[in-house]
C-alpha cells in the first residue's frame, strides 16, 4: 500500500527528475540503445557514374526495360521515347533493337489498364516496319484477342485499333496465321454481341459486359476493323490489289520461258515458312488451325459465321445512324466476297 | 467474403442470358491460356493472375455451359501435367483445386482425376504441392467410397499402387503408395487383400524407408484402425436429456434451436449406426496370401542375407513381423531359431525385443528340440544369482512366454532349477519365477517337484485328468460359451412353464416357434433386459489366494471341495453329450448369438473376479492371438526388482492404473464441484455458509439485544413454521 516510510522513499525514487548541468551533455536515459555503426566504405549501388553521357543504344534498352515499371507515366514516357527514337532514325537504317527483342516487353502493354499507355503503344507499333510486323503476327494476336474480350471497354477498343493496324500492316499474315481466322472472328462476334439470335436483336443491351468505356463510338470502330479484317481474309482478290496477282505476274515475268511457277519451288522469303507443319508447338484443334488460302477461309466463314454476320449486319442497319453507316462498309465487303464465291 | 461470392456463383443456373458474357470470358481465358502456353516459364505476373482468376471463374460455372467447355477439363489437366514443374505456385494450386471442382461437378470422373493427380504426386519436388495432392487424392477416394464401395475405382487405384511398388524396388517413390494405403486402411475404406498385397510388396522392397513403412503397417496398421474407430465412435457422447433441459431453461433463440436440431440429428444418425451390423474386418496379417512364403522371403532377404543394409532398429521391426507371422499362422522357418542364438546375451542392445520376438515365433508345432537349446541359453546367460535383477526377470519372463506356447521346450532339471528363484529377494525375479511355476502347474505338473505342484495340480495328476499334452496334440473344441447358452435356455423355458402353470418338465413344441419368431435381435426383447449391464454376483466369494497357500489346505474346506470333484467326473460324459446337441440339432438365430456373446462377457467378468479360476486358463486365453508380444511384457516387473527407481518413477508407476485422478478432496467437495460443473444451483445451506461475514454481523448483534418477549415471538414463529413445513408450507393452504 505504500504506507511505510521505506516504501515511500522507494516510490519517490522512480519519479526523481534528472538534474541538468550547464556545459554537460544531457544524461542518457536508461533504456538508450546505441544505433550508430561504423563501416569501411559506403556503397551506393544505384549510382552509375560515366564520363560520357549514355549513348542512344543503351538509352533505348534502358527505356525498354522501364516498360515494366509500376508507374503509369513512366511507362508512357518510355514508350514515347522509344517511338521518337525509332521514328527519327535515319531512313533504311536498322532498328536499335530487333523487333523480336522489343516485343516481349511491349506485348503485355496491350492489356495495360491506362489509356495513355495504350495510345502511346499504338503510336510505337505504327512506327515499326511492316515486314517485321509480318513475322511476329502470331505472337501479337493472342494478346490482341485477350484485349478484345477484356472486361474493360477501353481496352477492347484499343485492342481493336491495334488489330486494324495489324490488318493494314500485314493483312495476309493476320488472317492466315495459326488461330488467326476463327479465333479472331469469334472475338469480333463476341465484342459485337452477334453470336446468338437473341443477343443480335437491336433492342438487346449489346456489348454491355464489363465497364463501359470513356471513349465514344466503340461499335463504329469495331465495325470498321471488321470490314478491314473481312477484306483481308475473304475479300475478292481483284478488288484489293495485294496478295497473289501481282506476285504471279512478277514471277512469270522474271523467269524465262521454259520455267513456269518456279517461285513456288524457291526457298520461301517468309520468316517461318514451315509454320503450318507445327513442328514445335502444341497440337492444334480446328479453331487454332492455320487457314492459309482464301478458299479455306471462305469455307469456314460461310459455314460458321455467315448467318451470324448477316443477322448482325441487318440489325445494325436497322439501327441506323452512325452505326448503320459503319455497317454499310462491312456489308459492301461482304457482298463482294460473296459474289466472288469460294474462288475463281 | 470471397468464399460467399464463389458459393453464389455455384448456384447460377444455366441461364442463356449470360451466355454472351460467359463466351467473352471464355475467349479471354483462351487467349490468356494461349499466351501462357507459348512460354509457361516466362509468364508475367499480371498474366498469371488473370489466368488464375479466369480458371477459377470458369471452373465454378463449368456445369452451366457444358457445350462451350467441352475441352476445358482436358486443357487444365494438360496444363498441370506438362508444366507442373515450372508453374507458379498459386496457379498450380488453383489448377489442382479447379480440377477437383470439376470432378465434384461430374465433368470428369474420379479415375481421370486420380490418373492426373497421382503421377504428379510421386514426381513433383515441391513439398506443398505434394501435401495438397495427397490430401485431394485421399478425400477423393474417401468421397468415392462414401455411399457404397467403389470397387472399380479401388481396384484400379490399388493396381496403380501395386505397380508403383513393384516396378522400381530401389526407389523411395513407393512411400506414397504406403502412405496412401495405410491412410485408407486406417479409415476402413480399403479392407481387402489387394491393399495388403501392396504393403507386402513394399515390405519386400530394397529401399529401407519403404521396407520399414511396409513392416510398420503390418505391425501397427490394425491397431491404428481400431483406435480410429473408437475415436470416431465416442467423439461426441452428448447427453440428450441434458440438452433438452438446457434448451428449456436458457434463452430461446433461433441459433440455439438450430444448434439443438443439429445435435439431435447427429444423435439420431449415431443411433441408427449403432443398430447397423458391424462390418467384418480382417486384420492385415490374416489377409495375406501365402504367409509362409512372405515370412521366408522377409527373413532371408532382410535378416539373413549379409547384403541387407538395415540397421538394428529396422531389423528388429522386420524380425517382429516375421515372428508374428510365424506365431500367428504357425509357420515353420527352422533357420529363424538358430538365427536368434547369437543375439541372446544380456549385452545385446534391445535384447528384450529379441526375446519377445523369439517367444512370439514359438507355437505348439515347433519341434521342442529346436527350442530347447535356446531356452537353455537364455537360462545360462540371463538367469543366475550373479546377474542383475532386471536381467534375470527378463530371462525368466522370456522363458515363460516361450513355454506358454510350447511347454515341451523345457526339461525337468532346468525347470526345477528356475522354479527355485521363487524364493529370490528380488521382487521382479520372484514374480517371474512364480509365473513360470504356475504355468507348469497347469501344463506339466509332473515335471515339478512334488512340493511345488500345489493341491489342484497334484489332484489332477492323481486322477489322471491332467496329462502333459504330447507334441502336436490339439484340443478338441466347440463353440465357446455354448453350454452357458444352453443352460440359459433351459432356465427360460422353465420360467415360461411356471408362468403358464405347467409342470416344469413338460415338453412342448410351441417355444420352438417362439424362438423362430424372435429371429432377430430386438431392442425391447425381454431377454435383453440387462442391455449393456453385466451382472456381477455380489455374493460370490472373491478368492485372491496366493498359490503358496493352496498347498496347505484348511481341513474344513477339504471335505466340501472333494464332493464336487468326484461328481464332476461322472458329469463330464453327460455334459459333453449335451454340448454337441445344441449346436448340431438347431440353427442358432442371430438373437441366440447375441445372447451367447452377452453370456460370454458375463462369464468372463465373473472369472476375472474369482481369481483362481482365471489363472487356470493361463495367459494365452487372456490374450488375443492377434495381439503382439512386446518388449515391455518381457521386462515385466523389472521396475519393481530394483530399488533404484526414483520417487517420481514410483509415483508414476503407482498412478499408471488410475489415469484421471486429481488431488485428494472430500466427497462433499467433489459433489459440489460436479454440481457446479453441471451448472446446478447451490442449496440454501450452502448459501448461508458462504454469505459474507460482515453481512451476517448486524443480525447477530441485534439477536443479542432482543428482549425476552421478542425472543419468544421469534421462537414461536419458528416452531409454527416448522410445523407447517417451511415458509410456504407443504399443505395446500
Contact between residue B487 and residue B469 where contact means Cβ atoms under 8 Å apart: no
In this complex, the residue of B17, B35, B37 whose CB is nearest that of residue A146 is B35
- The dihedral formed by the CA atoms of B313, B316, B317 and B321, expressed in degrees to the nearest 10: 180
- From CA B613, how far away is CA B606, in angstroms rounded? 9
Q: Is residue B542 predicted with pLDDT exceeding 50? A: no
The listed range with the strongest mean pLDDT (B151-160, B242-251, B267-276, B526-535) is B151-160
What are the pLDDT digits (tens) for B687-719? Answer: 888 899 899 888 888 888 999 999 999 999 999
Q: Which residues of A90-119 are buried (b: 16+ CB within 10 A; e: fewer)?
A: eeeeebbeebeebbebbbbbbbbebbebbe
Q: What is the mean pLDDT of residues A301-308?
A: 84
Q: Please, which residues bridge with residue A152 across strands?
A: A211
pLDDT for B618 equals 41
A220 reaches B (C-beta below 8 A): no
pLDDT for B628 equals 78
B28 reaches A (C-beta below 8 A): yes
Q: What is the tally of helices (H) and strands (E) in chain B?
A: 36, 0
Judged by CB atoms closer than 8 Å, whether chains meet at A142 and B35 is answered as yes
| Chain B residues closer than 8 Å to A111 by CB | 46, 50
Q: Which of B331, B324, B222 is CA-nearest to residue B283?
A: B222
In this complex, the residue of B16, B20, B37 whose CB is nearest that of residue A190 is B20
Q: DSSP class of residue A281?
A: S
pLDDT for A168 equals 87
Judged by CB atoms closer than 8 Å, whether chains meet at B20 and A199 is answered as yes
Percentage of residues in chain A with pLDDT exceeding 70?
82
Residue B405's Cα: distance from chain center in Å? 25
Q: Is residue A263 predicted with pLDDT exceeding 80? A: no
Contact between residue B302 and residue B308 where contact means Cβ atoms under 8 Å apart: yes
In this complex, the residue of A108, A148, A179 whose CB is nearest that of residue B46 is A108
pLDDT for B560 equals 42
Q: What is the mean pLDDT of residues B110-120?
A: 90
* Closest CA in chain A for residue B25: A149
Q: DSSP class of residue B445?
A: G
Q: Is residue B37 predicted with pLDDT exceeding 50? A: yes
Residue bearing cell 440489325: A315
Contact between residue A192 and residue A133 where contact means Cβ atoms under 8 Å apart: no
Model confidence at B7, pLDDT cuts 50, 70, 90, reads: low
Contact between residue B362 and residue B371 where contact means Cβ atoms under 8 Å apart: yes
Q: Please, which residues bridge with residue A211 across strands?
A: A152
Q: Which of B207, B220, B219, B124 is CA-nearest to residue B166?
A: B207
Q: Is residue B79 predicted with pLDDT exceeding 50? A: yes
B625 reaches A (C-beta below 8 A): no
pLDDT for B95 equals 92
Judged by CB atoms closer than 8 Å, whether chains meet at B38 and A139 is answered as yes
What are the pLDDT digits (tens) for B163-213? Answer: 999 998 888 888 999 999 999 998 888 888 999 999 999 999 999 999 999
C-alpha cell, B628 = 503382439
The whole-angstrom distance between B698's CA and the closest CA on chain A is 29
Tell me which of A276 and A238 has the higher pLDDT: A276
A186 reaches B (C-beta below 8 A): yes
Q: Is residue B573 predicted with pLDDT exceeding 70? A: no
The whole-angstrom distance between A334's CA and the closest CA on chain B is 24
Q: Is residue A343 predicted with pLDDT exceeding 80? A: no
Q: What is the mean pLDDT of residues A165-194?
A: 84
The whole-angstrom distance between B33's CA and the closest CA on chain A is 9
Q: Is residue B45 predicted with pLDDT exceeding 80? A: no
Within 20-49 of A, beta carbons closer than 8 Å to B belong to: none
What is the Cα Rg of chain A in Å? 32
The listed range with the strongest mean pLDDT (B179-183, B625-629, B645-649) is B179-183
Mutate to test the interface with B, among A139, A190, A312 (most CBs of B within 10 A): A190
Helix axes B193-203, B151-167, angle to 10 degrees: 10
Residue B522's Cα: distance from chain center in Å? 27
Q: Which residues of A44-59 are buried (b: 16+ CB within 10 A; e: fewer)?
A: eeeeeeeeeeeeeeee
The whole-angstrom distance between A194's CA and the closest CA on chain B is 9
Judged by average pLDDT, the poorest of A74-83, B153-162, B267-276, B436-445 is: B267-276
Q: Is residue A244 predicted with pLDDT exceeding 70? A: no
In this complex, the residue of A142, A151, A285 whose CB is nearest that of residue B31 is A142
Contact between residue A192 and residue A225 where contact means Cβ atoms under 8 Å apart: no
| Chain B residues closer than 8 Å to A282 by CB | 37
Within 112-131 of B, beta carbons closer than 8 Å to A belong to: none
The whole-angstrom distance between A96's CA and the closest CA on chain B is 24
Count other C-beta atoms under 10 Å from residue B45's C-beta.
Answer: 10
Please give, one letter per residue, the 3-state secondary structure of B526-554. HHHCCCCCCCCCCCCCCCCCCHHHHHCCC
The listed range with the strongest mean pLDDT (A150-164, A190-204, B463-477) is A150-164
The SS3 of residue A211 is: strand
Task: Spell out the residues 6+ positions from residue B437 whose beta carbon is closer than 8 angstroms to its own.
Answer: B419, B422, B448, B452, B547
B32 reaches A (C-beta below 8 A): yes
Model confidence at B502, pLDDT cuts 50, 70, 90, reads: low
Model confidence at B11, pLDDT cuts 50, 70, 90, reads: low
Round the average pLDDT of chain A to a whole number and report it. 79
- From CA B319, how far away is CA B338, in angstroms rounded? 13
pLDDT for B588 equals 76
**ipTM of the shown complex:** 0.73
Q: Which residues of B402-440 are buried (b: 16+ CB within 10 A; e: fewer)?
A: bbbbbbbbbeeebbeebbebbebebbbbbbbbbbbbbbb
| Chain A residues closer than 8 Å to B19 by CB | 195-196, 199
The whole-angstrom distance between B160's CA and the closest CA on chain A is 28
C-alpha cell, B231 = 475415436
Q: Is residue B398 predicted with pLDDT exceeding 90? A: yes
| Chain A residues closer than 8 Å to B23 by CB | 190, 195
Mutate to test the interface with A, among B27, B42, B71, B82 (most CBs of A within 10 A): B27
Q: DSSP class of residue B166?
A: H
Contact between residue B408 and residue B471 where contact means Cβ atoms under 8 Å apart: yes
In this complex, the residue of B24, B30, B35 whose CB is nearest that of residue A143 is B35
C-alpha cell, A274 = 514451315
Judged by CB atoms closer than 8 Å, whether chains meet at B31 and A146 is answered as yes
A285 reaches B (C-beta below 8 A): yes
pLDDT for B129 equals 92
Q: Is residue A272 predicted with pLDDT exceeding 90? A: no
pLDDT for B608 equals 61
Q: What are phi and psi of B726, to 5 degrees?
A: 95, 175
The whole-angstrom distance between B25's CA and the closest CA on chain A is 7
Judged by average pLDDT, the poorest of A233-242, B235-244, B432-441 is: A233-242
- From CA B462, how far away is CA B449, in angstroms rounded? 15
Residue bearing cell 465373473: B606
The dihedral sign for the CA sequence A58, A61, A67, A68: negative
- From CA B28, how far away is CA B34, in angstroms rounded? 10
Q: Which of B192, B106, B170 is CA-nearest to residue B143?
A: B106
What are the pLDDT digits (tens) for B212-231? Answer: 999 999 998 778 888 887 77
Residue bearing cell 459474289: A339
Residue B401's Cα: distance from chain center in Å? 24
- From CA B456, how far away is CA B454, in angstroms rounded? 6
The whole-angstrom distance between B34's CA and the closest CA on chain A is 7
pLDDT for B519 equals 60
The listed range with the strongest mean pLDDT (A117-121, A220-224, B2-6, B146-150) is A117-121
Q: Is residue B232 predicted with pLDDT exceeding 90? A: no
Judged by CB atoms closer than 8 Å, whether chains meet at B31 and A143 is answered as yes
Within 128-147 of A, beta carbons closer than 8 Å to B belong to: 139, 142-143, 145-146
In this complex, the residue of B24, B32, B34 whose CB is nearest that of residue A190 is B24
pLDDT for B355 equals 93
pLDDT for B544 equals 44
| Residue-range domain boundaries for chain B | 291-463+629-641, 694-733
The dihedral sign for the CA sequence B527, B529, B535, B537: negative
Q: What is the mean pLDDT of residues A280-298?
A: 75
| Chain A residues closer than 8 Å to B58 by CB | none
Judged by average pLDDT, the poorest of A322-326, B305-309, B342-346 is: A322-326
Tell me which of B537 and B397 has the higher pLDDT: B397
Contact between residue B547 and residue B438 where contact means Cβ atoms under 8 Å apart: yes
A311 reaches B (C-beta below 8 A): no
Q: What are phi and psi of A312, to 5 degrees?
A: -65, -40
Q: What is the mean pLDDT of residues B352-363?
A: 92
A152 reaches B (C-beta below 8 A): no
In this complex, the residue of A150, A196, A282 whose CB is nearest that of residue B28 is A150
Percentage of residues in chain B with pLDDT exceeding 70?
79
Model confidence at B261, pLDDT cuts 50, 70, 90, reads: confident
Judged by CB atoms closer than 8 Å, whether chains meet at A146 and B71 is answered as no
- From CA B446, how far away is CA A34, in angstroms rounded? 90
A75 reaches B (C-beta below 8 A): no
Model confidence at B44, pLDDT cuts 50, 70, 90, reads: confident
The SS3 of residue B301 is: helix
Q: What is the mean pLDDT of residues B461-479?
A: 77
Tell me which of B185 and A43 has the higher pLDDT: B185
What are the pLDDT digits (tens) for B404-433? Answer: 999 999 999 999 999 999 998 888 899 999
Residue bearing cell 439470335: A197
C-alpha cell, B367 = 519341434
Judged by CB atoms closer than 8 Å, whether chains meet at A111 and B46 is answered as yes
The dihedral sign for the CA sequence B569, B571, B572, B573: positive
Residue bearing cell 489366494: B545
pLDDT for A79 equals 92
Q: Is residue B387 predicted with pLDDT exceeding 70? A: yes
Identify the helix (H) or strand (E) that includes residue A201: none
Distances (CA, A) of A152 to A115, A159, A209: 11, 11, 8
Q: What is the mean pLDDT of residues B630-640?
A: 73
Distances (CA, A) of B276 to B185, B341, B626: 21, 51, 25
Model confidence at B235, pLDDT cuts 50, 70, 90, reads: low
Model confidence at B518, pLDDT cuts 50, 70, 90, reads: low
pLDDT for B258 equals 87
B656 reaches A (C-beta below 8 A): no
* Closest CA in chain A for residue B42: A104
Q: What is the mean pLDDT of residues A110-133?
A: 88
Judged by CB atoms closer than 8 Å, whether chains meet at B24 and A199 is answered as no
Q: Is residue A248 predicted with pLDDT exceeding 50? A: no
C-alpha cell, B354 = 529379441
Q: Which of B684, B686, B682 is CA-nearest to residue B674?
A: B682
Residue bearing cell 506438362: B82
pLDDT for A339 equals 85
Q: Is residue B541 predicted with pLDDT exceeding 50? A: no
Task: Spell out the residues 6+ positions from residue A65 whose beta carbon is closer than 8 angstroms to its own.
Answer: A105
Q: Is residue A16 predicted with pLDDT exceeding 60? A: yes
Distances (CA, A) of A193 to A147, A202, A302, B426, B531: 16, 10, 19, 96, 73
Judged by CB atoms closer than 8 Å, whether chains meet at B27 and A108 is answered as no
| Chain B residues closer than 8 Å to A108 by CB | 44, 46-47
C-alpha cell, B84 = 507442373
* CB-defined contacts A:B, below 8 A: 62
Amino acid at each position: 500500500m505504500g504506507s511505510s516510510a521505506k516504501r515511500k522513499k522507494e516510490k519517490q525514487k522512480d519519479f526523481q527528475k534528472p538534474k541538468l548541468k550547464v556545459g554537460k551533455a544531457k544524461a542518457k536515459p536508461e533504456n538508450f540503445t546505441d544505433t550508430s555503426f561504423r563501416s569501411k566504405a559506403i556503397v551506393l549501388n544505384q549510382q552509375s557514374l560515366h564520363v560520357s553521357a549514355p549513348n542512344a543504344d543503351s538509352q533505348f534498352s534502358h527505356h525498354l526495360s522501364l516498360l515494366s515499371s509500376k508507374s503509369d507515366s513512366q511507362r508512357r514516357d518510355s514508350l514515347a521515347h522509344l517511338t521518337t527514337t525509332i521514328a527519327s532514325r535515319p531512313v533504311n537504317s536498322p532498328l536499335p533493337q530487333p523487333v523480336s527483342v522489343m516485343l516481349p516487353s511491349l506485348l503485355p502493354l496491350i492489356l495495360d489498364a491506362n489509356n495513355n499507355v495504350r495510345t502511346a503503344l499504338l503510336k510505337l507499333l505504327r512506327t515499326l516496319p511492316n515486314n517485321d510486323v509480318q513475322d511476329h503476327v502470331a505472337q501479337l494476336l493472342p494478346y490482341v484477342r485477350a484485349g478484345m474480350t477484356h472486361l474493360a471497354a477501353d481496352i477492347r477498343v484499343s485492342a481493336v485499333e491495334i488489330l486494324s493496324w495489324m490488318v493494314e500492316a500485314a493483312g495476309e499474315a493476320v488472317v492466315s496465321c495459326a488461330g488467326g481466322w476463327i479465333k479472331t472472328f469469334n472475338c469480333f462476334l463476341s465484342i459485337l454481341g452477334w453470336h446468338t439470335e437473341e443477343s443480335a436483336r437491336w433492342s438487346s443491351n449489346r456489348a454491355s459486359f464489363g465497364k463501359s468505356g470513356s471513349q465514344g463510338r466503340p461499335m463504329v470502330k469495331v465495325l470498321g476493323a471488321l470490314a478491314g479484317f473481312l477484306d483481308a481474309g475473304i475479300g475478292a482478290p481483284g478488288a484489293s490489289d495485294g496478295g497473289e496477282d501481282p506476285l504471279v505476274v512478277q514471277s512469270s515475268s522474271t523467269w524465262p520461258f521454259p520455267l513456269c511457277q518456279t517461285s513456288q519451288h524457291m526457298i520461301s522469303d517468309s520468316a517461318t515458312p514451315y509454320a503450318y507443319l507445327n513442328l514445335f508447338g502444341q497440337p492444334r484443334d480446328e479453331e487454332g488451325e492455320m487457314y492459309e488460302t482464301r478458299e479455306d477461309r471462305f469455307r469456314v466463314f460461310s459455314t460458321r459465321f455467315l448467318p451470324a454476320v448477316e443477322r448482325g449486319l441487318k440489325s445494325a442497319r436497322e439501327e441506323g445512324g452512325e452505326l448503320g453507316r459503319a455497317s454499310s462498309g462491312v456489308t459492301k465487303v461482304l457482298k463482294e466476297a460473296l459474289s466472288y464465291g469460294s474462288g475463281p | 467474403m470471397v468464399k460467399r461470392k464463389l458459393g453464389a456463383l455455384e448456384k447460377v443456373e444455366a441461364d442463356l442470358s449470360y451466355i454472351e458474357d460467359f463466351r467473352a470470358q471464355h475467349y479471354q481465358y483462351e487467349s490468356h491460356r494461349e499466351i501462357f502456353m507459348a512460354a509457361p516459364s516466362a509468364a508475367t505476373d499480371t498474366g498469371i493472375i488473370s489466368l488464375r482468376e479466369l480458371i477459377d471463374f470458369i471452373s465454378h460455372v463449368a456445369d452451366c455451359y457444358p457445350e462451350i467447355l467441352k475441352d476445358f477439363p482436358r486443357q487444365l489437366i494438360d496444363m498441370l501435367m506438362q508444366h507442373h514443374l515450372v508453374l507458379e505456385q498459386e496457379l498450380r494450386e488453383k489448377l489442382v483445386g479447379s480440377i477437383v471442382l470439376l470432378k465434384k461437378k461430374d465433368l470428369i470422373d474420379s479415375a481421370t482425376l486420380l490418373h492426373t493427380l497421382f503421377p504428379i504426386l510421386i514426381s513433383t519436388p515441391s513439398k506443398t504441392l505434394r501435401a495438397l495432392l495427397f490430401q485431394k487424392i485421399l478425400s477423393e477416394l474417401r468421397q468415392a467410397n462414401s455411399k457404397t464401395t467403389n470397387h472399380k475405382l479401388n481396384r484400379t487405384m490399388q493396381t496403380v499402387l501395386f505397380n508403383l511398388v513393384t516396378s522400381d524396388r530401389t526407389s523411395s517413390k513407393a512411400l506414397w503408395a504406403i502412405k496412401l494405403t495405410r491412410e485408407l486402411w486406417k479409415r476402413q475404406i480399403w479392407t481387402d487383400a489387394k491393399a495388403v498385397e501392396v504393403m507386402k510388396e513394399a515390405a519386400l522392397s530394397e529401399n529401407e524407408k519403404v521396407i520399414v513403412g511396409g513392416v510398420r503397417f503390418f505391425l501397427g496398421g490394425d491397431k491404428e484402425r481400431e483406435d480410429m474407430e473408437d475415436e470416431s465412435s465416442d467423439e461426441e457422447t452428448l447427453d440428450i436429456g441434458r440438452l433438452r433441459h438446457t434448451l428449456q431453461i436458457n434463452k430461446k433463440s433461433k441459433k440455439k434451436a438450430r444448434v439443438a436440431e443439429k445435435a439431435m440429428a447427429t444423435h439420431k444418425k449415431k443411433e441408427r449406426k449403432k443398430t447397423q451390423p458391424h462390418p467384418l474386418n480382417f486384420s492385415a496379417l490374416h489377409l495375406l496370401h501365402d504367409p509362409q512364403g512372405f515370412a521366408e522371403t522377409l527373413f532371408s532377404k532382410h535378416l539373413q542375407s549379409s547384403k541387407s543394409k538395415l540397421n538394428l532398429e529396422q531389423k528388429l521391426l522386420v524380425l517382429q513381423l516375421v515372428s508374428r507371422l510365424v506365431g500367428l499362422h504357425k509357420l515353420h522357418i527352422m533357420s529363424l531359431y538358430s538365427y536368434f542364438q547369437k543375439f541372446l546375451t544380456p549385452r545385446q542392445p534391445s535384447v528384450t525385443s529379441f526375446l519377445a520376438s523369439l517367444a512370439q515365433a514359438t507355437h505348439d508345432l515347433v519341434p521342442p528340440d529346436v527350442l530347447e537349446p535356446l531356452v537353455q541359453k537364455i537360462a545360462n546367460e540371463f538367469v543366475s544369482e550373479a546377474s542383475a535383477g532386471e536381467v534375470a526377470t527378463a530371462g525368466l519372463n522370456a522363458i515363460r512366454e516361450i513355454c506358454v506356447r510350447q511347454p515341451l521346450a523345457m526339461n525337468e532339471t532346468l525347470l526345477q532349477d528356475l522354479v527355485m528363484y521363487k524364493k529370490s529377494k528380488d521382487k521382479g525375479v520372484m514374480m517371474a519365477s512364480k509365473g513360470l511355476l504356475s504355468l507348469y502347474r497347469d501344463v506339466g505338473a509332473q515335471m515339478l517337484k512334488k512340493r511345488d505342484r500345489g493341491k489342484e495340480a497334484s489332484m489332477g495328476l492323481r486322477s489322471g485328468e491332467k496329462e502333459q499334452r504330447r507334441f502336436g496334440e490339439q484340443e478338441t473344441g466347440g463353440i465357446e460359451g455354448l453350454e452357458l447358452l444352453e443352460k440359459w435356455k433351459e432356465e427360460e423355458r422353465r420360467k415360461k412353464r411356471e408362468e403358464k402353470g405347467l409342470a416344469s418338465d413338460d415338453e412342448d413344441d410351441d417355444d420352438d416357434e417362439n424362438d423362430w419368431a424372435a429371429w432377430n435381435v430386438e431392442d425391447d426383447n425381454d431377454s435383453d433386459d440387462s442391455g449393456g449391464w453385466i451382472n456381477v454376483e455380489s455374493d460370490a466369494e472373491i478368492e485372491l489366494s496366493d498359490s503358496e497357500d493352496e498347498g496347505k489346505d484348511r481341513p474344513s474346506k477339504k471335505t466340501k471341495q472333494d464332493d464336487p470333484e468326484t461328481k464332476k467326473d461322472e458329469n463330464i460324459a453327460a455334459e459333453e453329450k449335451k454340448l454337441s446337441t445344441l449346436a448340431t440339432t438347431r440353427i442358432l438365430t442371430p438373437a441366440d448369438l447375441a445372447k451367447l456373446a452377452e453370456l460370454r462377457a458375463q462369464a468372463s467378468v465373473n472369472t476375472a473376479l474369482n481369481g483362481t479360476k482365471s489363472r487356470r486358463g493361463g495367459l494365452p486365453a487372456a490374450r488375443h492371438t492377434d495381439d503382439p508380444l512386446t518388449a515391455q511384457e518381457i521386462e515385466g516387473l523389472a521396475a519393481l526388482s530394483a530399488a533404484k527407481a526414483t520417487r517420481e518413477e514410483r509415483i508414476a508407476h503407482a498412478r499408471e492404473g488410475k489415469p484421471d485422478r486429481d488431488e485428494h478432496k472430500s466427497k462433499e467437495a467433489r459433489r459440489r464441484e460436479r454440481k457446479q460443473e453441471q451448472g446446478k444451483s447451490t442449496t440454501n445451506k450452502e448459501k448461508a455458509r458462504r454469505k459474507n461475514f460482515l453481512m451476517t454481523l448486524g443480525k447477530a448483534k441485534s439477536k443479542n439485544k432482543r428482549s425476552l418477549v421478542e425472543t419468544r415471538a421469534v421462537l414461536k414463529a419458528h416452531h409454527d413454521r416448522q410445523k407447517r413445513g417451511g415458509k410456504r408450507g407443504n399443505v395446500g393452504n
